Structure 1
Amino acid sequence: MLGWSLMFLVLAIIAGVFGFGGVAAASADIAQILFVVFLVLLVISAVAGAIRGRRPM
């Protein structure tokens, strides 16, 4: 998911350089949404790992 957000970020930067405002805005919005989703999943994973604790292998 981080890869997708980085891809849309790069696409937004390239579109912004070439002056495609609508495409740049849409790509930036998608990148921002994916980043927030990734961040929420990271926090949930960290909390679940802390609650569960480490299991010996």
Structure 2
Amino acid sequence: MPGYWVVMVNKVTGSASTEYVVDSDEAWQRSIDVEKQDPRVFATVAPCTRTSQES
């Protein structure tokens, strides 16, 4: 199922993490919420069109 990756990078440490979200609006809201919670974190959204069944 296509969805969106919320990509988060800590600007101080360089550590990164991702979260998979199905809904576009929810993904963007999550990225906004993450940045509000911790200003040291940059968050963005990237579309994910590949399914786990594709290789």
- TM-score exceeds 0.5: no
Q: TM-score, normalised by structure 2?
A: 0.35
Q: TM-score, normalised by structure 1?
A: 0.34
Point out the structure with max Rg over C-alpha.
Answer: 1
Higher helix fraction: Structure 1 or Structure 2?
A: 1
Higher strand fraction: Structure 1 or Structure 2?
A: 2
Structure possessing the higher relative contact order (Cα contacts under 8 Å, 6 or more residues apart): 2
